[in-house]
Structure 1
């Protein structure tokens, strides 16, 4: 199984080489800083271990609470005594927080901003007394130059970590500083094991068998990779999976595109048919519209004709009613009753003696007047005589008018007969004319 290293200088690889066979081990990390980045304990926590994380920066506590629920996460500094201490932090550089004023001065001299914060301080012995319930398999100390003060607060007679990992260079430098604090370790039954360029490793005398596992740097036989590489590989695998899925999706889309292309061709054909059908329907609609307009014109003409016929009918009906009233008035008049005997005689026929005499007299009179008027000399002699008698003048004029009208076409037709009734037979028109004249005579009387 490949080991994944999270630490800055492969400290966890060396510790895993020496302690990896231990199940559910226990650690103490002084200056823990971050639960994952440059963490010496992350790989062990993932393997089922637990322990105590001592980190004085209050702003670093929450990630430990969230990511290390099995661990004990303390927000305090470890020192030679109980109390309070000023912590010097470099916000722009993660992991550079220190309790050493001299280190802070150097950071300022290098141009870094340094902030100060007061934090509580406890001894390492007190922390072990409260939280260590059994073996402490390794103790790691990385406090940016404050390592000696931390070691002063530890009771190595009572608490015996199997392995010590202590930062042994000045902050940010290759210069070692272990000579300032190593005398607090070696006299208490610990042997120097290894220096990795940043940290010095020590093994308790009672676990000297671990020295052999710590005498050489991490190498290919440790079968490890960094967590950065592991994440890169995981990301690469994820990208490969996404690429594969992308190609599969492209193939699906390509098939779908081909299907859509076929559907598009069919749709275009259907659209062409629909367009033709639409044009046909539009032409038919135009024809129907034209026929409708023509029908409307004819309908309007028929309506006008119907109105004219209705007007004629109304006029004829009014004329007929008026004529009927007149006829009834004639029948009811005194003259009609008085002349009844005469009409009786007249109805006996045109060949009755009275009618024969009357016709002969009228004919002789007309012929005489016609002959008289055709003679210029007689007409000149006669006209002054006729002019002296109004009655005679009236009779002559009436006789001449009757003679003239007798020779004119449609003489028997009443002048006020409506146009529609002029198509009646001559006999019917004669009766109507007689009725008209009778009414006029009645009106004169």
Structure 2
């Protein structure tokens, strides 16, 4: 399976200036190519290359490989846009948002990620340096930092392109690695049910509760700070907002990674599968009071589910998604369903048999039972291969955050 290892570059000021000039030139060229593609209605790589390749090389002083990658990035961006328009992710046909996305060419930010192949980038993993092409020539012996685990993965499994990106004055390389998978466990002895929530991020059917109170308190504090800084609207306040804008996301992602790693390790150790709720569309289904909306919108259940799915696939652990309907109102002992069973956010008390348990643990037991029943009926693991990420969204690959193509975009 394809995973991405992110390493942090440590360029000298001269090297950083060369990287910045290169990234700016590549994205300016990509924006110009995007305009040509939009005008001509030509979004295929080889056809678009005939109209733009020579001009991109001469006008922006790009090498052959850099020019080709800039053109490919544009084609992939339009492919992604077209898919989003068809799926309704940018509003319904004829809506204002749809027209705004479809009536302008895609524009690339100066710091958008740029793909590099092995002709433009070489790794010296043991020395922790890279040699990278820039518009000023080849820059050699550029240092990078990585953990021991990252170095091992790079040395053993790196394969394919790497993406250069800049974020908040820091430089990163995202290297694609082809990591082998363990054989899928087709005969799990049971399932480990996972109930996902806001107050308790994850609760297992074994009774383990991974609470999110600390994270929620931090989010509330950060939200209040953002409100104060936005009201001030001074240059220094804007600088502080820029510094803090990704801090909460990084913290939540780190917590989700740790939870997912623990859940998958426990399921692998005990020979069980993992049972999750299918929460697709839950934001549209629920109605909330205004004070609850920000908290609900910051609930990263989808990210946690994705982390569990790809880690489980790597470990060979089957994952089954079940219908979440009435899992919080159903008694895990007798099966009685009643809204009154859920006496509070924290506690469940069955009106039929008198069974009392933690509400999230009771839900996770119901999720486990439903997954086991589905598996016995022949259900397949729903932990598929991670989706391929187009170059236009290279910075959004698994375990990565980076801004990429800024769509103002095309009519397709």
Structure with more relative contact order (C-alpha pairs < 8 Å, separation 6 or more): 2
Structure 2 length as normaliser, TM-score?
0.18
Higher helix share: 1
Normalising by structure 1, we get a TM-score of 0.17
- Comparing both structures, which one devotes a greater share of its residues to strand? 2
